[in-house]
Structure 1
Amino acid sequence: MKRLWHWPIDPLARTVRLALGEKRCAIDLVSVLPWAQPEELASMAPGARAPVMVDTGAEEKVSAVGTHAICEYLEEAIPTPRLLPFVAQERAEARRLWRYSEDSFADVNATLLTERVNQWVRRAREPDSGALRTGVHALKSRMTFLNGLAESRTYMAGRMLTLADLSIAAHLSAYDYFGDVPWDMTPDLKAWYSRIKSRPSFRPLLADKVDGTRPARHYADLDF
C-alpha cells in the first residue's frame, strides 16, 4: 500500500503522480495544503513537507520525502517501465534536465504560481502585479530554452520519456491550470506538451479541481 501526501497544483507533487501513473502504481492520495502542513509529516522526518510517500507494502516500511527521493525509490522498487535511461550518458542528461526543471522553475513557482494561488485559491489578498510580471518573464525565458530542446529531440533528454519530461510537464501543467502559459510563442514545446498531456498518466492531473477556482477552459483539452 502506497500513500502520497500532496497538493494537487504543486508541480513537485505532480511530478511524483506522473511517475506513479507511468508505472501504473496504485496510490492513496492525501491532500495537504502547502500553507498548513500537518504534524504527521514532521513525525516522519525532521522538516518533512509534502510531497511525502509511505510504502507499507515493501519488506520494510519506506518513507520517502521530496520528489527526488520518491522518484528514485520508485525507479528501484518498480523498474519497469524505466523513467531513467539504462545508458549512463543518457541517464546523466535526464537527471541534469530534471534538476534544471526544478531549479529554473523555482522562481516562477515563487512569483507567478504563488500569486495565482493567493488570488484564486486562498483569496488572501490582491495579487502583486510586480511578482506576476516577474513570473511571466521568467516563464517565457524557460520556455524559449525548452522549445529549443523540443525542436531537436523526441523527448527532453533524448530518445525516451524520462523524469525530465515528467518534471517539466508537471510544472507547465500547474501554470496552465490558471491559463498562464503562452503556448503560441513556442510551437515545438506546445507539440511536445500535447503528446505528454495525451498519455494515460496525465488524466488524473487533467481532472484536478481545486476549491475556489476552475481550470482554464483549454486545460483538459488534448488538442488545446
Structure 2
Amino acid sequence: MVRPRSLSICVLLVLSVAAQAHKQYFSAEYLASNRYIASNCELLSDKSIECHIHGPFERLLSMPVLAAGYTSVGTHVIADVKLGINPKYGNQRDSDFYILLSDGTDATGFLVPDRSNYRNLEPCSHIEGKPGKSLANRKNYYNGPRINSNNPVPQEFGFFFSTKQKWGSCVTATAYEGSYTTSGHYTAELHANNGLYLDIYSDNDRGEVYNFKYIIVDIQVDY
C-alpha cells in the first residue's frame, strides 16, 4: 500500500512535469488568419489549406511553436507533432513535401512523398537542412523500411523529435502493412533556447499541389 505522503509526492512530480508541456493545435483557419502560410497557399471552403508550388523547396507554412528564451541555453526538448492532410493530391499527382522542426539556423524533419514514389521511397524519410525562404543544404537519410507501392497516402502522420539525441521518428498507418514506423538520427543539433518553428516546404517539381488540414505540436522540456 502506498502511504499518503508518498502519493502526494508522486502527484506533485506529475504536475511539475506537466507544467513544462507546451501543446498547440493549429487548424487550417488559424494558420491562414495568423499569416503563417505563403502567398501561394489559401484557405478552402472545406477548412483545409491548399498550396501550389511556385519555386523549388519553397517554405509554404511556418509557425512558431516555442518562443526564444522559453528554455535556457543547453536545455533540450522533446517534440511530438501530428499532421493531418487530405491525400487527394498525393494519391493522384505530384505532391511531395517536407516537414521540419527548426531553430532558425538548422532544421531536422522528414520528406513525405506522394504515392507514385512508394516504389522508390518509404512513406516518410529523414531529412535535415538549412531553413529559410527555401530549404538549403538538404541531406536525406533513408532508414526504411519500404512499403507496398499500392498503398494509398495516409491521412495523418506522427513525428517525434528529441533534440538531445538528435533523433526523430515517423509513425503512420498503411492499408497493407498496418502501422508503419521509421526512426534514425540527424547530424544537426537544434537549440531550443533560440526558439523553435515548424516549417513545411515544397519539393521542386512543376505543378505540385498540397493540402493540409491541421497540425498539433506538443513540446516538453527534456531533463
TM-score over 0.5 for the alignment? no
Higher helix share: 1
Q: TM-score, normalised by structure 1?
A: 0.26
Q: TM-score, normalised by structure 2?
A: 0.26
Question: Between Structure 1 and Structure 2, whose CA radius of gyration is higher?
Answer: 2
Higher strand share: 2
Greater RCO structure (CA 8 Å; 6+ sep) = 2
